[in-house]
Structure 1
């Protein structure tokens, strides 16, 4: 995953990731209805990937905010 260079880029990445949750939720619901264990596992792994991605982006956003505060305090 490449690092976005601006706060706007980070917010867009977070939004895109969260938007992907809709597809994952549909996949999980379908897997449960069809009792498809493999599709259910795939949905769970996909959800974990989205959660991890959003956490990484959140950390990047916090670091950007800390960098701004460091520059202002100088």
Structure 2
């Protein structure tokens, strides 16, 4: 495995990487909100259901990332 790939995998599990993941996931929520608004104005039930399922996935993803961030914080305390 290359050094750059190893470094990239380490970043993904770092606090900075987790914050970046939270930001990008939250940014995805903007698209889902727009989709839901459009579905409501067009009375498109199927798209509204899709937006609701996507929103649930975003909330779940953010909860998992938050848990990971807390876990990383706990590790830092143990190391210090």
TM-score (norm 1): 0.90
Q: Quote the Cα distance in structure 1 between the aligned partners of 2:76 and 2:30.
A: 34
Aligned to 2:33: 25
Superposition pairs of residues 8-23 of structure 1, within 5 angstroms: 8-23=16-31
Superposition pairs of residues 27-66 of structure 1, within 5 angstroms: 27-66=35-74
Check if 1:5 corresponds to 2:13.
yes
Q: How many pairs align? A: 70
Q: Quote the Cα distance in structure 2 between the aligned partners of 1:5 and 1:17.
A: 16
Q: Quote the Cα distance in structure 2 between the aligned partners of 1:27 and 1:33.
A: 10
Superposition deviation, residue 59 in structure 1? 0.2
Q: Which runs of 4+ in 1 moved over 3 A?
A: none
Return 5+ residue gaps in structure 2 as ranges: 1-11
Superposition deviation, residue 71 in structure 1? 1.5
Aligned to 2:77: 69
TM-score (norm 2): 0.84
